[in-house]
Each structure stands twice: as structure tokens, then as C-alpha cells.
């Protein structure tokens, strides 16, 4: 989760984007919990920890441990959490077993997405580790929003699938999110590029009614999102490590 998106006053606890985006992640966690073993959540690039904390809130005792992994954490932030259920750490744990590795909009920030995925693969022990990854979709949506957030690229399904396979990830399922919003976002970003606006995040707090409407629309779409192999604003990869 990119902390820059929160600088404009966005509250992920109510904002339609975060509240709808967590839904396919919750379903992925439910599948990972089907084995009956308590799950270790490793949220890489966690920022505020919103997504991992939503998992812990939803599944409680079924979550054995939550690692919030972010190079931006200070020693003062990490020290009080050391040894607790929800622990802030600077690096990927050396050993991940029966884990769900989460990277929510992280790979696009890295010059080498493959190197990150290989690091995750190297830490995973056994064959019962799962992953859930989101990245921004379609280079045609590139705008000042991407520049502001420090993105290297946007993805399409073949591109994301290829790097996951190179890293040794298995049983990969890819699909798009926010397909219904794609035409509107594409139009707005093309217009923004023509106007050569200053690089800035598109994420803003919204009127409560508009926020509820967008949440309802996208929550409905999330129920069938795994069937969307065509277009969207975000691209998902999930499966086994």
C-alpha cells in the first residue's frame, strides 16, 4: 500500500478503492486457510499495513502471525512490535511456512520485479505457501499518477504471468480488477496527459454518496473479477509459491 496515496486525506477504512480491493484478497486468504493450518501473512511493502490488518481482523485466530514488511519502518516503529502477533520488520522473513505472501501494488515500484519475487521464493519452505499480488494495469493508463508514485511500469496479464513463472511461482491465476472503470480512467488520464498536468496522485476523498455508489459497483464486480481476462485498472496474480 503506497503511503503517498494517503497524503491527500484518503482513509482506507472507508474509501471505496481500498474497501473493494480487499475483497479478492480476503477470498484468497480463505482458500489458503482451507488446509486447516493457521496462516502466516507476509505483507511486503505494507506501508500502513491496511490489507494485512484487514486479514487479521477477518480471520482472527486462524492467522498465526502477521509480518508487516517495509523498508520505510524505523527502529522506533519496529521495536514495540518485536515478538508480537503483528510484527513490523525491515526485511522478508528468512523462513516462510504455510504462508500467504501479499504484495499490493509493490512490484511496479521496483527496478527488478524478478529479483523481489526470487527473494520471496527463496524464503518459502514446503509446498503450502500462497501468494496474492496486485499491480497497476495497462501502459496506456500511464500518467502523472504513476510518475508521482514512482512507478517503473504498468502490467498486462502476459507480462505479470511471465515474471511469476520465471521466479518459480506455481498454479498462477491472473485477472483484472476495475474493468467497469477502465473506460473512464483511460479517458481521464489521456486528457490529463494532453494538459501536461503536474505529477500527482489521482486518489482523493469523495463525497459520501459517491463513495458508497462506487463501493457498491466495485464490490459487485469483485464477485466475478476472476473471470475478467480482458481489461481493468489493476492486474492480479495469485497462486502457489
Count of domains observed in the chain: 1
pLDDT greater than 70 at residue 229:
yes
Lowest model confidence (mean pLDDT) among 1-10, 163-172, 173-182: 1-10
Q: What is the pLDDT of residue 216?
A: 98
Residue 132, pLDDT above cutoff 70: yes
Comparison of pLDDT for 168 and 200, the residue scoring more: 168
Cα 15 to Cα 201: distance, rounded to the nearest angstrom: 15
- Residues 150 and 74 sit within 8 Å (Cβ to Cβ): no
The pLDDT confidence band at residue 4, using thresholds 50, 70 and 90, is low
- DSSP-derived letter for residue 198 is P
Residue 133: φ, ψ to 5°? -130, 135
Alpha carbons 190 and 192: distance in angstroms, whole number: 5
Residue 119: left (phi > 0), alpha (psi -120 to 50), or beta? Answer: alpha
How, if at all, do strands 170-177 and 234-240 pair? antiparallel
Q: Tell me: pLDDT of 11 over 70.
A: yes
What does DSSP assign to residue 110? -
CA within 13 Å, CB half, 142: 11
**Domain coverage including residue 43:** 3-240
Domain containing 9 — which CATH number? 3.40.50.150
Percent of the chain predicted with pLDDT > 90: 90
Do 44 and 93 touch, CB atoms closer than 8 A? Answer: no
Between CA 156 and CA 130 the distance in angstroms is 21
Amino acid at each position: 500500500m503506497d503511503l503517498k496515496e494517503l497524503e491527500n486525506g484518503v482513509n482506507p477504512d472507508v474509501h471505496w478503492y481500498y474497501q473493494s480491493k480487499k475483497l479478492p484478497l480476503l477470498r484468497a486468504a480463505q482458500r489458503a486457510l482451507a488446509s486447516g493450518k493457521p496462516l502466516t501473512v507476509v505483507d511486503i511493502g505494507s506501508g500502513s499495513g491496511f490489507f494485512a490488518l484487514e486479514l487479521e481482523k477477518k480471520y482472527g485466530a486462524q492467522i498465526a502471525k502477521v509480518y508487516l514488511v517495509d523498508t520505510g519502518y524505523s527502529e522506533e516503529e519496529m521495536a514495540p512490535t518485536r515478538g508480537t502477533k503483528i510484527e513490523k520488520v525491515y526485511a522478508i522473513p528468512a523462513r516462510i511456512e504455510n504462508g500467504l505472501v501479499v504484495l499490493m501494488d509493490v512490484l511496479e515500484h521496483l527496478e527488478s520485479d524478478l529479483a523481489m519475487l526470487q527473494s520471496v521464493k527463496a524464503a518459502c519452505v514446503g509446498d503450502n505457501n500462497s501468494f496474492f499480488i496486485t499491480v497497476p494495469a495497462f501502459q496506456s493508463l500511464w500518467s502523472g499518477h504513476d510518475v508521482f508514485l514512482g512507478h517503473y511500469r504498468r502490467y498486462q496479464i502476459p507480462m505479470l504471468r511471465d515474471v511469476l513463472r520465471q521466479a518459480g511461482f506455481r498454479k498462477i491465476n491472473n485477472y483484472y480488477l476495475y474493468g467497469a472503470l477502465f473506460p473512464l480512467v483511460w479517458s481521464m488520464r489521456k486528457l490529463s496527459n494532453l494538459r501536461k498536468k503536474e505529477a500527482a496522485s489521482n486518489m482523493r476523498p469523495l463525497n459520501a454518496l459517491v463513495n458508497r455508489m462506487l463501493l457498491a459497483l466495485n464490490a459487485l464486480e469483485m464477485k466475478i473479477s476472476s473471470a475478467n481476462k480482458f481489461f481493468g485498472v489493476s492486474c492480479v496474480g495469485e497462486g502457489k509459491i
